[in-house]
Amino acid sequence: MQHQLTLFDDPTVAPPTLKASRSGTFVDNMPLPIHRWFRYSAGFAARWVEEVLTEWDVKPGQLVLDPFVGSGTVPLVCDRMGISSIGVEAHPVVARICKAKLLWERDPDRVGHFAAKVVKCAKGRKPDISSYPQLIHRSFDTETLAVLDNLRSAWSLLRDSSPESELIWLALTSILRPTSRAGTAQWQYILPNKTKKKVIHPLIAFQQQIEIIRSDLRWMQSRATHSHAELIVGDARAFADPMPQSVDAVITSPPYANNYDYADALRFEMTFWGDSTGWGDIHDTVRKYLIVSSSQHSSRERLKASDLLESDAVEPIRNELGEVMEQLARVRETHGGKKHYHTMIGGYCRDISLVLRQLRIACKAGSRMCWVIGDSAPYGVYCPIEKWIAELAIAAGFKQHHFDKLRDRNIKWKNRKHRVPLKEGLLRIEG
Ligand SMILES: C[S@@+](CC[C@H](N)C(=O)[O-])C[C@H]1O[C@@H](n2cnc3c(N)ncnc32)[C@H](O)[C@@H]1O
């Protein structure tokens, strides 16, 4: 393996100064205007994004990219700083949420009028809750579901192509959890068996959410003139051809290879809106568009270890990855669940490599990237993810990298019989 320079081998590059310990969590965004319109557990902190942009001295006129933009933390921060941005998101509902949050130039009064029309129309309707799937019936009491159904059908009648219509869709989507008696697990999985004591009446929750949206619109409009954000609802593995060498900086956090199923994250909201009828269709409607990061994904796609290892995308790490995949395949035979972690890891590395190649096309020479990333240990087999990403980045044509650990973690695997220490940190890549 060739020697790779790290960022801090270069004495002219300052060491990191970020207060980055909270970079990986969305909790800090919940008091922040607009960011708070939807709680997306997978998101990172807006203030941290701002710190990175400030540290890098990114200015209006430059272009920032987040290839895994999620609910839009990076473009919203960029909008407030007057910086142009591009986000890529493959989950159709997450992308829709992001798009709605970027509609902050709208007139708050028009949003209020649309909401009032929806409420008025809802009050005159007769609910029909018979056709909702089991998940929804188990998550709401009958009276709450009836009110939500009226709001939903009123919105469906009044919906049009206006931004106000989308903002009201987001408001309704965001009140589903607070009005549901079902609990939410870490990472947003819905838990219909774990009931909450306190729920909010849907009409009150809706009115409150509309007031928050209106007040946040005013807040943002007093600080920024217009949005400079473009959202690509698409695949980070294939987006860059129309924008060669145009990006100055990348701030992102990809899915981790830790078996978290992003397709499941918003299954509750999708089921309410009729975008999903259950487990069966979630692969075809969402998961197959995402990078491989869960064993459900690799098994549904019937990925083959040999094909993955033959892919030229994993060439720079083929030997080490092959050993880890072999070990995972062996350990799998001793476990009842027989999870497809070996192909999950192979698929993950292949996909991340494809994304890095796209980033090389999109980024200018000398650009900077910061990835929030964690390693993983399925079945207790350690996978040095940040090291592999760094090596794949160099192979894709970037020049330097450096990893700073932010915190230890070993929560995802706590039910497994192993104690492999894991970490999360910032992988900075340049060149
Ligand atoms: C860790 S989350 C990013 C959250 C984001 N930083 C925020 O603050 O909301 C990773 C995101 O990558 C998205 N994703 C997964 N595969 C993708 C792909 N192939 N192309 C684009 N986005 C993808 C997931 O849907 C998820 O929203």
Q: Does 14 score more than 60 pLDDT?
A: no
Q: Is the CB of 309 under 6 A from ligand 1?
A: no
User: CB of 203 within 8 A of CB of 76?
Assistant: no
Separation between Cα atoms, residue 244 and residue 65, nearest integer Å: 12
User: CB of 379 within 8 A of CB of 329?
Assistant: no
Edge-first strand listing for the sheet containing 247-252: 229-233, 84-89, 63-66, 247-252, 363-374, 422-430, 400-409
Pocket test for ligand 1, best of 186, 262, 354, 389 (most atoms within 8 A of CB): 262
User: CB of 57 within 8 A of CB of 242?
Assistant: no
Q: Is the CB of 260 under 6 A from ligand 1?
A: no
Query: pLDDT confidence of 417, banded at 50, 70, 90?
Result: low
Q: Is the CB of 38 under 6 A from ligand 1?
A: no
Q: Is the CB of 102 under 6 A from ligand 1?
A: no
DSSP-H helix ranges across 162-304: 163-174, 176-179, 202-221, 262-265, 267-273, 279-285, 295-300
Q: Is the CB of 291 under 6 A from ligand 1?
A: yes
| Atom 25 of ligand 1, residue of closest alpha carbon | 91
Q: Does 11 score more than 90 pLDDT?
A: no
Residues 154-176 have a mean pLDDT of 98
User: CB of 210 within 8 A of CB of 112?
Assistant: yes
236 C-alpha to center of ligand 1: Å? 9
Q: What angle do CA 113, 118, 122 make, to 5 degrees?
A: 150
381 C-alpha to center of ligand 1: Å? 25
In this prediction the pTM is 0.92
Pocket test for ligand 1, best of 86, 290, 293, 349 (most atoms within 8 A of CB): 290
Separation between Cα atoms, residue 43 and residue 29, nearest integer Å: 9
Pocket test for ligand 1, best of 89, 256, 376 (most atoms within 8 A of CB): 89
Q: What percent of the chain has pLDDT over 70?
A: 92
Per the document, the length of the chain is 431
Q: Is the CB of 206 under 6 A from ligand 1?
A: no
Q: Is the CB of 68 under 6 A from ligand 1?
A: yes
Q: Is the CB of 250 under 6 A from ligand 1?
A: no
User: What residues contact 270, with CB distance under 8 A and at least 6 apart?
Assistant: 93, 276, 282, 285, 286
Amino acid at 420: V
Mean pLDDT, the chain, rounded, equals 91
Supply the DSSP string of 355-370, one letter for each residue: HHHHHHHHEEEEEEEE
| Atom 8 of ligand 1, residue of closest alpha carbon | 43
User: CB of 380 within 8 A of CB of 408?
Assistant: no
Q: Is the CB of 42 under 6 A from ligand 1?
A: yes
Say what the pLDDT of residue 1 is: 32
Q: What is the pLDDT of residues 372-402, one digit of tens each?
A: 999 999 999 999 999 999 999 999 999 999 9
User: CB of 29 within 8 A of CB of 48?
Assistant: no
Q: Is the CB of 276 under 6 A from ligand 1?
A: no
Q: Is the CB of 43 under 6 A from ligand 1?
A: yes
Query: pLDDT confidence of 12, banded at 50, 70, 90?
Result: very low
Number of H helices, E strands in the chain: 17, 9
Q: What percent of the chain has pLDDT over 90?
A: 81
The rounded Cα 87 to chain-centroid distance in angstroms is: 11
Q: Is the CB of 88 under 6 A from ligand 1?
A: yes
Say what the pLDDT of residue 10 is: 32
Q: What angle do CA 102, 108, 109 make, to 5 degrees?
A: 150
Nearest to 349 by CA among 325, 332, 369: 325
